[in-house]
């Protein structure tokens, strides 16, 4: 396993109280595997990603418990400097939603793509230049050699996200954390970036964590899916199991609530209510207040039930 | 009900003329929903702004029930504004954070009528009830509500004057997946109940197929394809519509995306391609596509493409 | 969402404790002196007493607590004169800020909201205004009119309205793009109502902050004009005029020029510190002002 996370708890210390944004999640990513972390805003998926890189909001964010192991090495106890030197950008890289905020408008893309390579002593001098051209070609920037001196604003939205990807894969990381990498893009560009991520994985064997709210994007890119709700993983399993035979009522409701092409239902099946506050979350199952299959037992924390090889869901109904 | 005829909008900027909308025509039938679909920068929001009279067309006409909005006098225009209401994308930006919900919802009402305090309160409570919020919500401020609830408030505000046409600009794209269905169902319910006509602007094709009766696919300021939603989605004729549909990821791991359907990216409206504006990305482009602008062919399912037989 | 979930409105004692007490004390003293006038000053500020001429402050040799801050060349009590000067400073600050703020805010709102030609004309006006040296403007006005309190106010208003207009225009342009204003326009809400309901309340904080930050500048400006003889005239009393009077005796009576100088400095400093505090409380996004 490239990444193994066990019982991760990330808290945000706010004025209003402690927000248990990530509340005891466990997951793993294998070599050449893409894990989809799917959930709505506030489900804790983005903070899970940031926890892996230990890039939590300064002052308020804290990993309260749990372990994060990259190739067997524990990251939660690593010093900040070791984290910056050996892990961040080197062995775990990140692609964020908005390429415009990931790129610095005043530096040329040649500079920006070579920075991580230089900082992590991957390449120097002449090899550095050829390496940068290699990486940009790999993400299919046309005539990369001539464009090293160009600035971010001279590229289109899709190309900028390719450049961000180039910065991320330059150091051949073991794990790529992609947080909504296509959300800011139009569908015809989105499909190109999805293809690019797939190609990067085929070329380098990197593990990918894809953080997304879009069940379509997750289906087209992931091998396994972990569905998050209110800071917890409610269901995890191989992609086909999750979409073809979802077990948790939340996963089922989510899949029923989205309109699909070619599907002419008169009404969408809405999920009533809204997610709970994570400052004072309900005891027991957090989806229970909105759940159509709610039982009295749901007031107690639900057991994690194994349904098939690698397919687990936390629900009393399945126990 | 609402008809656009050759509507064009150019913006003069220091870098040249932005041809945001170029000769767009379509009609919205009463009590139905027409969807404008396209990618960012295609001009669909500019079209909505012109319909809402926030911008004036450079050329062409927008007619509401046969009356040209450009020649309306102040009273007629005010009546038009009363009949046509808007719901915007971001419910955090579309509600003034300093006003109570009751004041927000009463705003269009007070702009057109001078009912007494009690009548206003009664109407506010009515529309709050229609959108599924308690009457006590009127006393609270927008920040005390979640995104989905705020969008309900925005819908209540648009509904307060019983308009005939509602312009819905990406009404659910800022909302969470589990909330979207609630709001879409609510919109469908009130359309039926009050006989409303909708013009919805969206980029989510599955949503459009689900929600609309007619659709117009916009590419770089022009209508690429338009017609009854069922026909357009079942048999897309324009290569751009085909590319769009092939690129939509489906919540189905067995679905295969076609990334080759549209190469490259949308051109700038500052310097649009000659001929068919889609030709630089089109896998089927032939010589005539580079030189001649295709006229729409077919009715009611029309496509502006040289390769489509009339 | 229920009403019971609302936080109870408590008096924010913690925020009160963080009030800038010292500046408020100084500004309060200036205010009291301005209102109280001669009724609370120890001497008649214009009362001559040649026997007390050049009396040093009380803590120096030859000083007496009768004249705590000393006396000037004509034996007038400096403390009483500084107190009398408060009145002028407060009146000038009040009118100058009221008029420059209103004119500037109105111009900024109109230019920002309507844009186009109106905006272009107003912006050119602002640019012209900001390139005219205000001392030259004061000279011309003083020549055309009687120098005095109203001239000072007019000069300051002419100098500062553009400052308000520029900032308010920027705020309005940002506000104009908000969807709730777009909705109001599409729903047929009239422009005056949009101004009153959506624009004014949103720029109110900015106006308060700008006004407070301007107090120090206005007082300093008034003092400079009066010092140059373009502002307040004898027998009226102003801090700038006191500086001007005392200038020729600076070598043998340092207190004559130092005491009003300290008054100006303390008042301006207090107004600025208070303005900064208010800005940070009301509108943290305006730190660049």
- Grade residue C4 by pLDDT with cuts at 50, 70 and 90: very low
- What is Dmax (Cα atoms) for chain A? 68
How close does chain A come to B250, measured CA to CA in Å?
A: 4
Residues A290 and A303 in one domain: yes
Residues A288 and A247 in one domain: yes
DSSP readout, B173-185? Answer: TTS-HHHHHHHHH
Instruction: Find the residue in C nearest to B168 (Cα).
Output: C183
Q: What is the mean pLDDT of chain C?
A: 85
pLDDT digits (tens, 9 = 90+) for C157-170: 998 899 999 999 99
Instruction: Find the residue in B nearest to A225 (Cα).
Output: B253
- Give the range among A275-279, B199-203, B209-213, C280-284 with minimum mean pLDDT: C280-284
For residue B129, pLDDT over 50 is answered with yes
**What domain count does chain A have?**
2
- pLDDT top residue among C234 and A68: A68
Peptide bond into C49 cis (omega under 30): no
Interchain contact B255–A (C-beta under 8 A): yes
* B178, B246, B261: residue with CB nearest A254: B178
Residues A226 and A306 in one domain: no
In a domain, A89, yes or no: yes
Which pLDDT does position C17 carry in this prediction? 61
% of chain A with per-residue pLDDT over 90? 71
Which pLDDT does position C144 carry in this prediction? 85
**Separation between Cα atoms, residue B245 and residue B254, nearest integer Å:** 16
In a domain, A163, yes or no: yes
Instruction: Find the residue in A nearest to B145 (Cα).
Output: A274
- pLDDT top residue among C141 and B27: B27
- Grade residue C206 by pLDDT with cuts at 50, 70 and 90: confident
Residues A136 and A220 in one domain: yes
Cα–Cα separations (whole angstroms), residue C287 to C13, C160, C201, C215, C281: 25, 19, 20, 18, 11
% of chain B with per-residue pLDDT over 90? 84
In a domain, A274, yes or no: no
Residues A247 and A216 in one domain: no
Residues A45 and A105 in one domain: yes
In this prediction, residues C255-259 reach a mean pLDDT of: 90
For residue C9, pLDDT over 50 is answered with no
- Give the range among A192-201, B247-256, C64-73, C118-127 with minimum mean pLDDT: C64-73
Residues A150 and A197 in one domain: yes
**Separation between Cα atoms, residue A24 and residue B146, nearest integer Å:** 26
- Give the range among A62-66, B208-212, C37-41 with minimum mean pLDDT: C37-41
* B93, B99, B108: residue with CB nearest C187: B108
Cβ contact (<8 Å) for B98 and C193?
no
In a domain, A25, yes or no: no
For residue C288, pLDDT over 60 is answered with no
In this prediction, residues C221-243 reach a mean pLDDT of: 86
Residue ranges making up the domain that contains A169: 30-55+79-230
Instruction: Find the residue in A nearest to B235 (Cα).
Output: A262
For residue A123, pLDDT over 90 is answered with no
Rounded (10°) CA dihedral A298, A304, A308, A310: 140
In a domain, A100, yes or no: yes
Cα–Cα separations (whole angstroms), residue A73 to A6, A76, A87, B241, C47: 13, 9, 11, 49, 87
Cβ contact (<8 Å) for C180 and B98?
no
Neighbour tally for B171: CB within 10 Å:
29
Which pLDDT does position B310 carry in this prediction? 64
- Grade residue A316 by pLDDT with cuts at 50, 70 and 90: very high
Cβ contact (<8 Å) for A219 and B243?
no
CB A24 within 8 A of CB A7: yes
% of chain B with per-residue pLDDT over 70? 100
Residues A218 and A250 in one domain: no
- Give the range among A188-202, B3-17, B23-37, C1-15 with minimum mean pLDDT: C1-15
pLDDT digits (tens, 9 = 90+) for C79-112: 999 998 898 888 998 999 999 999 999 999 999 9
How close does chain B come to C201, measured CA to CA in Å?
A: 8
Cβ contact (<8 Å) for B107 and C202?
no
> Residue A97's domain is classified under what CATH number?
3.40.50.300
**Separation between Cα atoms, residue B118 and residue B124, nearest integer Å:** 10
* B179, B244, B265: residue with CB nearest A156: B265
Residues A221 and A104 in one domain: yes
In this prediction, residues B211-238 reach a mean pLDDT of: 95
Interchain contact A16–B (C-beta under 8 A): no
Instruction: Find the residue in B nearest to A252 (Cα).
Output: B178
Residues A247 and A128 in one domain: no
Cα–Cα separations (whole angstroms), residue B208 to A215, A259, B198, C150: 17, 9, 12, 66
Enumerate neighbours of B (3 or more CB pairs within 8 A): A, C
Interchain contact A142–B (C-beta under 8 A): no
In this prediction, residues B97-121 reach a mean pLDDT of: 92
Closest listed residue to residue B252, CA positions, set A248, A221, A250, A220: A220
For chain C, the domains span 69-283
Q: In the numeric block, which tokens belong to residue A195?
A: 């293809």
Which pLDDT does position C15 carry in this prediction? 59
**Separation between Cα atoms, residue B102 and residue B124, nearest integer Å:** 6
Which pLDDT does position C11 carry in this prediction? 53
- pLDDT top residue among C227 and B129: B129
Torsion sign across C-alpha atoms A197, A202, A206, A207 = positive
In a domain, A5, yes or no: no
- Grade residue C16 by pLDDT with cuts at 50, 70 and 90: low
Q: Of 1.10.20.10, 1.10.1740.10, 1.10.3720.10, 3.40.630.30, which CATH number belongs to C69-283?
A: 1.10.3720.10
What H or E segment, with its residue span, contains residue B245?
Answer: helix B239-247
Interchain contact A267–B (C-beta under 8 A): yes
Q: What pTM value is reported for the model?
A: 0.85
- Grade residue C13 by pLDDT with cuts at 50, 70 and 90: low
Residues A213 and A243 in one domain: no
Residues A94 and A217 in one domain: yes
Contacts of C169 (CB under 8 A, 6+ apart): C107, C108, C109, C111, C112, C119, C122, C123
């Amino acid at each position: 396993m490239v990444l193994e996370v066990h019982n991760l708890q990330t808290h945000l210390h706010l004025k209003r109280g402690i927000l248990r944004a990530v509340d005891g999640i466990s997951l793993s990513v294998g070599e050449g595997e893409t894990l989809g972390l799917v959930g709505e805003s506030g489900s804790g998926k983005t903070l899970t990603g940031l926890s892996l890189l230990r890039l939590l909001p300064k002052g308020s964010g804290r990993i309260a418990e749990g372990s994060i192991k990259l190739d067997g090495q524990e990251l939660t106890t690593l010093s900040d400097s070791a984290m910056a030197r050996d892990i961040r950008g080197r062995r775990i890289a990140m692609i964020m939603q908005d390429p415009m905020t990931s790129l610095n408008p005043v530096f040329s893309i040649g500079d920006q793509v070579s920075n991580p390579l230089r900082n992590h002593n991957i390449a120097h001098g002449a090899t550095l230049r050829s390496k940068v051209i290699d990486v940009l070609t790999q993400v299919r920037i046309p005539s990369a050699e001539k464009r090293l001196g160009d600035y971010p604003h001279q590229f289109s939205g899709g190309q900028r996200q390719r450049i961000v990807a180039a910065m991320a894969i330059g150091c051949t990381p073991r794990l790529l954390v992609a947080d909504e990498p296509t959300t800011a893009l139009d569908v015809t560009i989105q499909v190109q970036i999805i293809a690019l991520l797939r190609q990067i994985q085929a070329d380098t064997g990197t593990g990918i964590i894809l953080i997304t709210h879009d069940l379509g994007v997750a289906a087209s890119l992931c091998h396994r899916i972990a569905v998050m709700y209110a800071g917890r993983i409610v269901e995890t399993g191989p992609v086909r199991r999750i979409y073809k035979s979802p077990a948790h009522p939340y996963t089922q409701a989510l899949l029923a609530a989205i309109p699909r092409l070619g599907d002419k239902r008169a009404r969408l099946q809405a999920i009533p209510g809204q997610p709970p506050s994570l400052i004072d979350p309900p005891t027991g199952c957090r989806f229970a207040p909105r759940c159509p299959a709610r039982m009295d037992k749901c007031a107690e924390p639900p057991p994690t039930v194994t349904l098939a090889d690698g397919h687990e869901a936390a629900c009393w109904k399945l126990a | 009900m609402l008809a656009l005829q050759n509507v064009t909008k150019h913006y003069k900027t220091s870098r040249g003329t932005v041809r945001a909308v170029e000769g767009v025509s379509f009609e919205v039938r009463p009590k139905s929903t027409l969807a404008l679909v396209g990618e960012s920068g295609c001009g669909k929001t500019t079209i909505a702004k012109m319909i809402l009279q926030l911008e004036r067309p450079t050329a062409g006409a927008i007619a509401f029930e046969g009356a040209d909005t450009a020649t309306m006098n102040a009273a007629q225009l005010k009546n038009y504004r009363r009949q046509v209401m808007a719901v915007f994308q971001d419910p955090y930006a579309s509600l003034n954070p300093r006003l109570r919900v009751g004041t927000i919802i009463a705003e269009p009402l007070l702009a057109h009528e001078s009912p007494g305090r009690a009548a206003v309160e009664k109407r506010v409570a009515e529309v709050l009830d229609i959108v599924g919020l308690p009457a006590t919500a009127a006393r609270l401020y927008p920040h005390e509500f979640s995104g989905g609830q705020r969008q309900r408030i925005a819908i209540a505000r648009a509904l307060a004057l019983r308009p005939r046409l509602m312009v819905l600009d990406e009404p659910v794209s800022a909302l969470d997946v589990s909330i979207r269905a609630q709001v879409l169902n609510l919109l469908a319910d009130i359309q039926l109940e009050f006989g409303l006509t909708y013009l919805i602007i969206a980029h989510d094709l599955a949503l459009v197929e689900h929600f609309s009766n007619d659709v117009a696919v916009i590419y770089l300021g022009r209508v690429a394809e338009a017609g009854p939603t069922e026909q357009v989605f079942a048999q897309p004729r324009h290569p751009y519509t085909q590319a769009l549909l092939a690129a939509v990821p489906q919540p189905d791991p067995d679905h295969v995306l076609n990334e080759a359907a549209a190469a490259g990216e949308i051109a700038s409206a500052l310097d649009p391609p000659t001929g068919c504006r889609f030709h630089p990305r089109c896998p089927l482009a032939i010589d005539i596509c580079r030189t001649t602008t295709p006229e729409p062919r077919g009715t009611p399912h029309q496509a502006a493409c040289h390769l489509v037989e009339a | 969402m229920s009403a019971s979930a609302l936080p109870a409105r408590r008096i924010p004692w913690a925020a009160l404790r963080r009030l800038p007490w010292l500046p408020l004390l100084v500004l309060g003293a200036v205010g009291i002196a301005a209102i109280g006038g001669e009724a609370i000053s120890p001497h008649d500020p214009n009362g001559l007493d040649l026997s007390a001429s050049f009396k040093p402050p009380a803590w120096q040799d030859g000083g007496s607590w009768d004249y705590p801050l000393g006396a000037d060349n004509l034996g007038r009590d400096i403390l009483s004169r500084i107190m009398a000067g408060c009145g002028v400073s407060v009146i000038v600050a009040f009118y100058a800020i009221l008029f420059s703020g209103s004119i500037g805010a109105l111009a900024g709102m109109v230019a920002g909201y309507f844009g186009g030609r109106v905006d272009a004309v107003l912006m050119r006006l602002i640019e012209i205004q900001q390139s005219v040296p205000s001392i030259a403007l004061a000279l011309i006005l003083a020549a055309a009119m009687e120098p005095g309190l109203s001239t000072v106010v007019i000069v300051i208003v002419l100098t500062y309205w553009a400052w308000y207009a520029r900032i308010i225009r920027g705020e309005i342009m940002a506000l104009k793009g908000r969807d709730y204003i777009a909705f109001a326009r599409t729903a047929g809400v009239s422009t005056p109502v949009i101004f009153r309901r959506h624009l004014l309340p949103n720029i109110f904080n900015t106006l308060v902050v700008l006004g407070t930050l301007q107090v120090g500048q206005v007082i300093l400006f008034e003092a400079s004009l009066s010092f140059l003889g373009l502002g307040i005239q004898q027998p009226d009393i102003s801090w700038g005029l006191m500086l001007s009077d005392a200038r020729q005796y600076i070598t043998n009576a340092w207190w004559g020029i130092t005491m009003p100088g300290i008054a100006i400095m303390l008042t301006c400093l207090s107004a600025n510190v208070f303005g900064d505090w208010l800005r940070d409380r009301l509108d943290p996004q305006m730190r660049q002002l």
